[in-house]
A and B are shown apart, each in its own frame.
Chain A
Amino acid sequence: MTIDAAFAALVEANPIPDPRSYAKHRLEPAAFLTATRERTKDMQTIDQQESRQKARQRKWQPFAAVAAFVLVIAVGVAAALALSGGDDAANIPAPPFDTPQEAVEAWVAAQNAGDGEAYLLLFAPDASDGALNQGGIASEKTIKDRVEMVAATETVFSVVECVAESAAQAKCVMTRHNPVWAISSGTSGSEESVVLTIDKSGAIARVGVNLIDGGTFDEARHDAYLAFMEANYPDLRAELNRNWASDPIDRPAADIGRESLAAAREFNAQYDG
């Protein structure tokens, strides 16, 4: 069969030749925007509820302030005696979280700190963590390794914006930036959509992650990186792309782990030389 005939056969095999009739039951744009605004309104409602709670709390503030002062002194003395020095893990908030946004901040902080122990403490016992891409089924060791490796490879998460979809669920946009990975593959990091839910106990029950924007991919640079690894570090090269075999829209990935971090830096120095 000629190339043109093969291509024509593919055109003919289009499963949805008429997109207009396929989408005839679509949501109207006004309804779509209303749904988007409803999410914003939910967030405002929660803010108002929190404001009212805070106003009620203010009535007790004069009495509470005295008690708190005494308590702070006592806790401060105890902490000074108990702790030998500063510890980043102590800065990561732990459950119960009052709002899903607080949980998002703690989730991001634990990953940036590479603190696997603190990360595990954020979750309810039967939680599902889509960030691991393992359907929520993973051993504690796997989770800790993953979180620690994220920080070891200098990946930094940042929350761009966060909207409460309900009192228990937040939908956020966050960025994931890894300077070494970015240089090796030419991407400028990625932007992701995160849906995080907390349960009644205030612990994280579910995290779902979807990629929004993977950045611009420099294919030539990535090919050069893989060739460099093949020539100089064949054992490490075999480990790259190990998780991407069944991707239907195959996008090469310059995965970098603890072992290949130094090699990636070496490549970057040579390539930019």
Chain B
Amino acid sequence: MDPNAEVRFTRLYKAYYADVLAYCARRVNRADAEDVANEVFTVLWRKLDGIDEESTIAWLYGVAHRTISNRWRGNSRRNRLRERLDGFGAETSEPVDTVVVRRDEDRTVFDAMARLKPVDQEVLRLSAWEELSAPQIAEVVGCSVSAAEQRLHRAKKRLGKILSPPLEPSVAIHPLTAEEGGRP
């Protein structure tokens, strides 16, 4: 390992640990978030030589994204199996947006997000909360830049549509009939 590796790792750790932990904590509970963040930086330490510093944050989010995704798959399958065996729900790692709701407005947004496809939710979160550009989102979720742009645009439209209150039904005004007390 390069003798400067420790210096370089320390710099990257200090620069990005908080962002990676926040990324994880926005998606899983605090304990799991810390586990995943540590896993991400273990991978960083091991692959330090091949890291392009200009895209480090997207690379780190990508590792976290795949780690969380894999954990969730394991959890959801395990929980489904337990439900079948036990007849009731089992403990799970709740995404943070289902347990942390600070305001009614936020609850409305989270409810709307829950109605979107998971991949749409993720690109929206990456854009709104991690403030990533389309090329960075593409790197995190593993798609082309144009696909990320299209997906983000469609997801924003869908979110806007869900958050728009339905129009009040129009009321037609008819003159009262004589039977209803109107003029004959």
B163 touches A6 (CB 8 A): yes
In Å, the complex CA distance between A6 and B128 comes to: 11
Cβ of A213 within 8 Å of any chain B Cβ, yes or no, is: yes
- The answer to whether A214 and B142 touch (CB under 8 A), given A1-B164, A9-B105, is yes
Interface mask (B132-152 → A, CB under 8 Å = 1, otherwise 0) = 000000000111100100000
User: A1-B163, A246-B76, A249-B122 given as contacts; is B117 within 8 A of A23 (CB)?
Assistant: no
8 Å CB interface, B15-32 against A: 17-19, 21-22, 25-27
Give A55 Cβ to nearest chain B Cβ, in Å: 30
Chain A residues with CB under 8 A of B46? 173
Q: Is A137 an interface residue (CB 8 A)?
A: yes
User: Shortest Cβ distance from B159 into chain A, in angstroms?
Assistant: 5
The interface stretch among A28-36, A67-75, A94-102, A256-264 is: A28-36
**A29 engages B13 (CB within 8 Å):** yes
Q: Are A14 and B119 in contact (CB under 8 A)?
A: no
Interface range for A: 35 or more
When the two chains form the complex, which single residue of B13, B80, B141 contacts A251, counting CB atoms closer than 8 Å?
Answer: B141
Asked, given contacts A33-B45, A248-B118, A250-B117, whether A16 binds B22 with beta carbons under 8 Å apart, the answer is yes
| Bound CA–CA A9/B103 (angstroms) | 11
Residue-by-residue, is B100-121 near A (CB-CB < 8 Å gives 1, otherwise 0)?
Answer: 1011011011101100011101
Q: A248, B142: Cβ atoms under 8 Å?
A: no
Is the pair A32, B41 in contact by a Cβ cutoff of 8 Å? yes
Q: Could you name 6 residue pairs across A and B whose Cβ atoms are closer than 8 Å?
A: A6-B156, A10-B124, A211-B66, A211-B69, A244-B73, A246-B76
Which A residues are within 8 Å of any B CB, using their own CB?
Answer: 1-3, 5-7, 9-16, 19-20, 22-23, 26-27, 29-30, 32-33, 36, 130, 133-135, 137, 173, 193, 209-217, 219-220, 243-244, 246-251
Rank and list the top 10 A-B pairs by shortest CB-CB distance, nearest first.
A135-B78, A19-B22, A23-B18, A211-B70, A250-B118, A6-B160, A217-B142, A13-B106, A29-B13, A19-B18
B residues apposed to A, CB below 8 Å: 6, 9-10, 13-14, 17-19, 21-22, 25-27, 38-39, 41-43, 45-46, 63, 65-74, 76-78, 80-82, 85, 95-97, 100, 102-103, 105-106, 108-110, 112-113, 117-119, 121-122, 124, 127-129, 141-144, 147, 156-157, 159-160, 163-165
Given contacts A15-B97, A33-B45, 18 further A-B contacts (CB under 8 A): A1-B165, A6-B163, A11-B128, A13-B106, A13-B110, A16-B25, A19-B21, A19-B22, A26-B18, A26-B21, A29-B10, A33-B6, A36-B45, A134-B78, A217-B142, A247-B72, A248-B68, A250-B122
